[in-house]
Copies of this chain bind each other. A is one copy, B any other.
Amino acid sequence: MINGNTELIAHIGFPTRTFKSPMIYNPWFAAKGINAVVVPMGSQPDHFPTLFQALRGLTNLRGALITMPHKVSVMDLVDELTPTARVAGACNAVLRRPDGRFLGDQFDGAGFVRGILRKGFVPQGRRALITGTGGVGSAIAASLAATGLAELALHDLRAVPTEALAARLREHHPALRVTVGSNDPAGFDLIVNATPLGMNEGDPLPFDMSRVAPGTWAGEVVMHQDITPFLAAALARGCTVQQGKDMLFEMIPAYLEFFGYGSATPEELRAVARFEAETEA
């Protein structure tokens, strides 16, 4: 129940209609008696710096969740960035410190990695391929790089940011083999779709699934539906899969700690989440 003492977490992006976090955080806050609320705020790129500046002065703001299309541009607006955010080259959470400074961090990759590790993926010596080196793909790369993988391969049609990500990975993880190349999944132990492919009907699959070996791990960032066409094809090939929403539920405990609201298990969060609300008008 929102009242005059409620703390706000601004959830900023555009469009807002695909936002899921309010339906996870808010029921959890309610269940725990925490007087805070995640509030969707639709903001387009030309407006975002103005909004961000305005949030600095809100007296009841705890922080912000930053999503597309602002995860990169917000880096220039915060006062401080964590190393994870620097390597990822993107920021998806902002905390207002007691002194008023805004700290930017990055949890997209942490959620993905926590999820596959809990499912039993053993990264040591393995080879991973990520297609899509935008905000979320870069974040997953940054977090995967710290797990002990042998090789991390990147694929994206945009060569410049992909090479830049590879350079940041090599700088911070000298023992990791970082390659930039095709999206051919043959020979990889983990393949990750970090592109939007799968959000729209008729999208091509992100990989040539005929070249995926059984036993490969397949991770998805699209959370438009639980089993995307990519994950369906991966399951048909005998892969172990991680859904987009798994990543979401895994990352939220890390966010909650970041914001100072304690923690929760993914199971606790799933038990109270209210995704059916997304179909409301």
Interface residues of A (CB under 8 A from B): 1-6, 8, 14-20, 22-23, 26-27, 33, 35, 37-44, 46-47, 50-51, 53-55, 57-60, 274, 277-278, 280-281
Contact = CB atoms under 8 A, between A and B. Distances in A.
A59 B5 contact: no
Nearest to A18: B4
B47 A50 contact: no
Contacts of A39: 2, 8, 37, 39
A277 B3 contact: yes
A3 B281 contact: no
A1 to B, nearest CB: 4
29 contacts: A1-B22, A1-B26, A1-B274, A1-B280, A2-B23, A2-B26, A2-B37, A2-B39, A3-B40, A4-B20, A4-B22, A5-B16, A5-B278, A8-B39, A35-B280, A35-B281, A39-B39, A40-B60, A42-B60, A43-B57, A43-B58, A43-B59, A44-B57, A44-B59, A47-B54, A50-B50, A50-B54, A50-B57, A51-B58
Contact residues of A: prevailing secondary structure:
loop
Chain copies in complex: 2
B3 A19 contact: yes
A44 B14 CA distance: 27
Given A1-B274, A41-B60, 6 more contacts: A2-B23, A4-B18, A4-B278, A8-B41, A16-B59, A43-B58
A248 to B, nearest CB: 13
Q: Max chain B CB contacts within 10 Å: which of A35, A39, A46? A: A39
A51 B40 contact: no
A277 B1 CA distance: 7
A16 B43 contact: no
Nearest to A276: B1
Contacts of A27: 1
A251 B1 CA distance: 22
A15 to B, nearest CB: 7
A57 B51 CA distance: 8
B26 A4 contact: no
B3 A22 contact: yes
A63 to B, nearest CB: 15
Q: Which 10 A-B pairs have the closest CB atoms?
A: A42-B59, A47-B57, A4-B19, A54-B54, A1-B277, A42-B60, A4-B16, A2-B22, A4-B17, A51-B54
